Structure 1
Amino acid sequence: MEWMRQLFEQYGDFVLFAGLFLESLAVPFPGELAMAFGGYMSSLGKMPIFQVMILSYLGAIIGTTLTYVLGAKLGAPFFEKYGRYMLMHPKRINKIRRWMERYGSGVVLVSHFIPGFRHFTGYVSGITGFRFRTFLLFNHAGAVVWVACYVLLGRWLGKRMEDVMHMLEKFGPWAVFGIAVLLLAFVLIKRAWQASREQARQAQDQPGS
């Protein structure tokens, strides 16, 4: 926790924007820890909570939008050749591609919560030609929830933040993955329910029904 405190003391709230932006580009940075610590700092009155949220949100959104543009402009051949230098191995690209083909916008929505996915979903969305407006909509929605969860968690925990920071450092990715699975399940269940309602409505509208 001390190293995170030193980062904030040295660079101020710019850490949130720059850190989340770089993490979105697949540069290693503990985004969840930084947001939670920012929330903790707001509980001490050292940083306005809305400032913490907005800077985190902007860093994540600008970064992921840039990855979409890079994916669309550079295309699959570039990442097949050079992707390994940024941990975008063909297997990882194909895995995300299959998820997107199967679950569509739901993957973009929950990708912020899934370790190893949020850094690459934008690239793959651009590579595969996923509709830009749809990507923006669900990427924004997912980022809002993701940022709010961690910032509010840090603020709510207050003085207990030290213990939680240690827990997040140790178990964070698995906890986040669990949350993401629940969110994805919710999206899929909602879609199935809407589809069943539409089928029932169409059956009622058919002549002789």
Structure 2
Amino acid sequence: MIEQFTQEMVQFIEVLPPLSIYLVFFVVAYIENVVPPIPGDVLVAFGGYLAAESVIGLVPVLLLTTIASVIGFMTMYWIGYKWGGVVERKQKGVRFLRFIPVEYLHKVRSWMEKWGLGVVLANRFLAGTRSVISLAAGLGNTPISKTILCSGVSSILWNGILLAFGWIVHENWRLIGEYLSVYGKIILTGIGVYIIIRIGIYYYKR
């Protein structure tokens, strides 16, 4: 389903004028932070290919996707600030946030208590955790200016890497999606192992 969506988006983008392409990348980069299943990373890599073909500019698409990513992050931050406590306590009344794994939110909050804004700084590189991290940041009421800065640095580095790879591999940009899939599985597995080890240590000490 994700591959089909990506293919349809690519076909849609390919027939658009440059200004409209920029708008699409902005919207995709924003929504990807709010609705995680959207394959925004793969489409950003496609943007690198389009930049190599001189269809769009590399710097403008980098800036636009970075700004959109930060706005998306801060949108979830605001939701976490306003309704995060309700979600964390598993209370009813916020139906559009029911997809959030509460246990995962608890774990991310513990990360932030330990590493602070470093988690926000690394958020773009932690596949599968971005929305939860932004929610946890809002729930923890992290300083807004510092949160925006850390989110911006993380976004510009990650998007820059994706665009660079898309530029380098050119028409083989779809391969990046396969690598991202493997990368995501490694990250999630590593997080799972870390959680299991911490739980084991906790019970061992008890």
TM-score by length of 2: 0.76
- Alignment partner of 2:99 out of 59, 84, 87: 87
Q: What is the correspondence of 1:51-62 to structure 2 with a 5 Å cutoff?
A: 51-62=60-71
- Contact 1:23–1:119 under 8 Å retained in 2: no
What one-letter code is carried by the residue in structure 2 that aligns with 1:3? E
- Contact 1:33–1:168 under 8 Å retained in 2: no
- Contact 2:120–2:151 under 8 Å retained in 1: yes
Q: What is the correspondence of 1:41-190 to structure 2 with a 5 Å cutoff?
A: 41-78=50-87, 80-81=90-91, 82=94, 85-162=97-174, 164-165=175-176, 167-168=178-179, 170-174=181-185, 177=187
1:207 match: none
CA deviations over 1:113-159 (Å, ceiling 9, x no partner):
11221122111111112222221221111111111110111011113
Rate the CA distance shift 1:3–1:141 in 2: closer, same or farther, 3 A: same
TM-score by length of 1: 0.75
Structure (1 or 2) with the larger CA radius of gyration: 1
Distance in 2 (CA, whole Å) between partners of 1:31 and 1:113 is 13
Q: How much has 1:36 moved relative to structure 2?
A: 0.3
Alignment root-mean-square deviation, CA: 2.5
1:192 match: none
What one-letter code is carried by the residue in structure 2 that aligns with 1:141? V
- Alignment partner of 2:31 out of 19, 22, 36: 22
SS in structure 2 of the partner of residue 40 of structure 1: helix
- Contact 2:128–2:184 under 8 Å retained in 1: no
Consecutive unaligned residues of structure 1, counting only runs of 5 or more, are: 182-209
Distance in 1 (CA, whole Å) between partners of 2:70 and 2:180 is 23
Distance in 2 (CA, whole Å) between partners of 1:137 and 1:73 is 21
